[in-house]
Amino acid sequence: MLLDAHNHLQDVRLAPHLDTLLPALAQLRVRRAVVNGTEEADWPRVAELAARFPWIQPSFGLHPWQVAHRSPLWLDHLRSLLEAHPHAGVGEVGLDRWIRPANIREQHEVLEPQLALAAELERPLSLHCLKAWGGLRELLEHSPLPKRGFLLHSYSGPAELIQPFIKLGAYFSFSAHFLHTRKHAQRTLFALMPRERLLVETDSPDMSPPSELCEHPLTDTNGHPLNHPAHISLAYRSLAETLGVDPVVLEREIAENYARLFGPG
């Protein structure tokens, strides 16, 4: 049983492939997947996928890259979607100092009410962070959070923040993107984490594995490569190898972790 803790199957680049791609995932033992919205424009596509495929768990959020594109009623819209989907999560949300302009104050204005909403409704929370780890930690320490915890997807922060984030309720997801040579340092971080806090993701259609390890070639309509969500199996195998753990044991542990954060399937 493979479980994808974070992806974006609603992405328009995947639309031409969905009719064949999604049924194929079920045949690959992908039993559950969290599909994360990033802006108001893609939230309806997330909801539609969840309605079509019961194994898809929707998540709705305003990503830090999209804060400038929000409508005046974005938070009301988000609340309505969450109330209409009792098992939906809040995400993908977060902080990002990598983008330019970083508009970090505006990012805070958007993230804080989303944290409060996740806590109020007790929903799983999927967080993005780039070059803002200290600021994210400080914000989380002073914000309401869901009791079930939250996911720091594709964690690439410093080792010294792993334990402080765990104390706040963090889980950490591993992606096959970390198999790139330049990502060696991030990959080794996962050996420092308690196994009961680990999850696996694809972030499809982005965060592809190295081309030499690509098992499921996929391109958009312009021929640009995409990360096929079937690479969840590569991510599982790679994490087991990184940890020196029997893949069957890891699969069982990931299932337990996934159920604690996202709820039983």
What pLDDT was estimated at residue 96? 96
How many angstroms separate the CA atoms of 64 and 95, rounded?
6
In contact, 200 and 235? CB cutoff 8 Å? yes
* Number of CB atoms found within 10 A of residue 51's CB: 11
Task: Classify strands 198-201 and 30-36 as parallel, antiparallel or unpaired.
Answer: unpaired
What pLDDT was estimated at residue 216? 93
Residue 132, classed as helix, strand or coil, is: coil
How many angstroms separate the CA atoms of 18 and 26, rounded?
12
Strands of 30-36's sheet in order across: 2-7, 30-36, 56-60, 89-96, 125-130, 150-152, 170-175, 198-201
What pLDDT was estimated at residue 127? 98
How many angstroms separate the CA atoms of 134 and 153, rounded?
16
Q: Please choose, from the candidates 197, 195, 209, the residue with its C-alpha nearest in 3D space to the C-alpha of residue 172.
A: 197
pTM check: above 0.85:
yes
Domains of the chain: 2-262 (3.20.20.140)
Average pLDDT for consecutive 10-residue bins of the chain (265 residues)? 97 95 87 97 97 95 96 98 98 95 93 98 98 97 98 96 98 97 93 97 97 95 96 97 96 98 91
For 54, 70, 209, the CA distances from 57, given in Å and listed in that order, are 8, 23, 24
Would you give the end-to-end CA distance of the chain in angstroms? Answer: 11
B/e letters for 178-190, b = 16+ CB within 10 Å, e = fewer, are: bbbeebeebbebb
Radius of gyration of the chain (CA): 17
